[in-house]
Amino acid sequence: MDPILAVEQAWQAEAGAAPLSDPADDLARLEALRVRFLGKKGEVAALMKVLGQLSPDEKRAFGQRVNQLKDQVTAALDELRAQAEARAEQAALAAGWLDPTLPTAAAGAQVVGLPALGHKHPITRLLDTVIDHFTGLGFEVASGPEIEDTWHNFDALNIPDNHPARDVWDTFYTTRGEVPRTHTSSVQIRTMQAQRPPIRVISPGKCFRNESIDATHLAAFNQCEGLYVDRGVTLGHLKATLEGWVHRLFGPDVKIRFRPAFYPFVEPGLDLDAQCFFCGGGGHLGDGGTCPVCRGKGWLEVIPCGMVHPNVLRNCGIDPAEWSGFAFGMGFDRLVMLQHGIDDLRRLYSGRLDLVRQL
């Protein structure tokens, strides 16, 4: 009998004998078939040995037929394997149906080993403190879109296009020209557009800057800004308000100071420094080493702030001749990093529970 025909018939017999019957071992059986027919010592390989004994003319025709057979078996096995995998998946999905309406006790499915009380993320704890403190002073908490338009994020804040001030913010843009907000100041703009003074509001939230990520810089971070607009608001009001907050944050004896700074949306613009809570402002620890928190400076730069620029008020339809205000902002991640001595900001967003369970 023709040796090729013999192998072909053997294969047809196997393929015809319902090779898929039990999802549990279909794959194993298919593998056995592959070895039997296509393996190195398989039946197709054996046919190639016959080839050596043939004349050149016969060789060509014979070789072609063997290859056809090989292709046919390979294709059939691949197809069967795909079917078997799909059936195994189906079987896995079909098994173990859970009745979501069953009481946990009746289902006998208790989880053992979760903490009795979960742990709050340190950024949330700071958020809670900020909200508690400022709502206590009569501030409302405002929210706004994280994906902003350039007017709310820049123009309204007295940061015109093509002005060097825009370079200060390394800005992301979406493919359709929106701006992932670089600060929550955009929420202050929306608030001033929506309500008339007096305005007292804080706006915590996520912001984005196109900065390379390292231990002290994140491209997405959390901050909180505050805004106060009323008649006759002064720098003295700003100072007292923030002094109270710094005392809440770092302790009642911590001193503060202002330094001039430039932010286009405030005038005067200031940076508020707080005396280092860790070393007490001396820049050194008891053993003479440099303070790791302030790095020897004695002061921590914590709150950029200032008196709201009249252009910003005007852009929101508020008359700066009648109303004035102050604004401030603070980076949550950095504050948390300082408070807890965290060495790398990325840890805060790593999703790792060893961090939240420790703090």
Partner 1 sequence: MRVPVSLLRQLAPVRDGGGPIPVETLATVMNARVSEVEKVHRFPAPAALAGFRIARTEGGGLVVVDAQDRPATEAALGIGADASNPVTLGPDVDPSADLHEALGLDDVVLEFDLEPNRPDLFSLVGMARDAAAIWGSGLHLPGTADRTWPRAAGVSVVVHATDKVPRYVAVEVEGVQVGPSPQWLQNAVRKLGMRPINNVVDATNLVMMELGEPMHTFDRRRIATGVIGLRMARDGERMTTLDGVERTLTSECLLVVDGDPGQGDGGVPVALAGIMGSAGSGIEADTTAVLIEAASFDMAAVRRASRRLSLRTEASLRFEKGLPQAGVGPAVARLVGLLEKVCGPQVRVVGRAEHWPVAPPERVVMLDPERLRSRLAMELDDDRIDQLLGMSGCRVERRRAGGATGALWRVVLPDHRPDLAIHEDLEEEVGRLHGYDHVHATLPRAQLRPVRQHPWFHGASRVRDLLLAWGLDEVYLSAWVSDEELARFQLPAPGPDAPLVELANPLNVELRYFRPSVLPALLAAVRENRKLGETFGLFEVGRVYLRGPDGAVVETPSLAGAVLDPASQERGGAFYRVRDALQDLGRRLGVPLSLRVGLDAGLPPWAGAALLHPGRAATLVTGEGALVGVFGELSPAAVRAADLREAPAVFAVDLSALYARLDAHHPRFQPPPRFPSVEAHLNVVAPLRTPADELLGRLFAPDLVSRAVRDVWTGKGVPEGHRRLTLELQFNHPDRSLTHAEVMERVALVAETLRGDPRLSVELPA
Contacts of partner 1 in 144-173 (CB under 8 A): 145-147, 162, 164-165, 167-168, 172-173
- Whose Cβ is closer to partner 1: residue 47's or residue 306's? 306
Rounded to whole angstroms, how far apart are CA atoms 31 and 74? 12
Instruction: Please report, as residue ranges, which positions from 177 to 236 form the binding site for partner 1 (by CB under 8 A).
Output: 178, 180, 198, 200, 204, 206, 208, 210, 212-213, 219-220, 222, 228, 230, 232-236
Among 124, 129, 150, 339, binds partner 1 (CB under 8 A): 124
Of 258 and 278, CB closest to partner 1: 258
C-alpha–C-alpha distance, residues 259 and 270, integer Å: 5
73 or 338: CB nearest partner 1: 338
Q: Beta strand pairing status for 140-141 and 199-208? A: parallel
**Options 37, 139, 154, 265; binder of partner 1; rule CB under 8 A:** 139
Q: How many CB atoms lie within 10 A of CB 98?
A: 8
Q: Supply the minimum distance, in Å, between the C-beta of residue 341 and partner 1.
A: 18
Q: Return the number of the residue (17 or 98) whose C-beta is nearest partner 1.
A: 98
Which residues within the stretch 318-337 sit at the binding site for partner 1 (CB under 8 A)?
324
**Spatial distance between the Cα atoms of 143 and 224, rounded to a whole number of angstroms:** 11
How far, in Å, CA of 199 to CA of 326, rounded? 10
- Interaction between residue 97 and partner 1 (CB under 8 A): yes
Among 13, 17, 18, 98, binds partner 1 (CB under 8 A): 98
Options 39-47, 87-95, 288-296, 337-345: segment touching partner 1 (CB under 8 A) = 87-95
Number of residues that bind partner 1 (CB under 8 A): 106
Restricting to residues 267-306, name those near partner 1 by CB under 8 A.
267-271
Nearer residue to partner 1 within complex by CB, 64 or 135: 135
- DSSP assignment of 260-302 equals E---TTEEEEEEEEEE-TTTTTSSB-TTSPBPTTTTTSSEEEE
User: 236 to each of 27, 96, 241, 306, how far by Cα in Å?
Assistant: 79, 68, 9, 11
- Asked if 254 interacts with partner 1 (CB under 8 A), we say no
- Candidates 24, 40, 117, 287; binder of partner 1 (CB under 8 A) is 117
The verdict on 175 binding partner 1 (CB under 8 A) reads yes
Identify which of residues 57 and 161 has a Cβ nearer to partner 1 in the complex.
161
Question: String of b and e for 109-120 (b: at least 16 CB within 10 Å)?
Answer: eeeeeeeeeeee
Among 84, 157, 189, 348, binds partner 1 (CB under 8 A): 348
| CB 258 within 8 Å of CB 272 | yes
Type of residue numbered 107: A
The single-letter code of the amino acid at 357 is R
Residue 252 interacts with partner 1 (CB under 8 A): yes or no: no
Residue 94 CB, nearest approach to partner 1 (Å): 7
Decide whether 70 or 209 has the Cβ nearer to partner 1: 209
Which residues are tagged catalytic? 169, 183, 209, 223, 266, 327
Chain center to CA of 245: 29
CA 242/CA 258 separation, integer angstroms? 11
Distance (Å, whole) CA 146 – CA 137: 26
Instruction: Give CA–CA dist 174/161, Å, rounded.
Output: 17
Interacting residue with partner 1 among 121, 247, 284, 340 (CB under 8 A):
121
Let me know: does 219 contact 207? Beta carbons within 8 Å.
no
Tell whether residue 53 is a contact of partner 1 (CB under 8 A).
no
Q: Which of left, alpha, beta for 213 (phi over 0: left; psi -120 to 50: alpha)?
A: beta
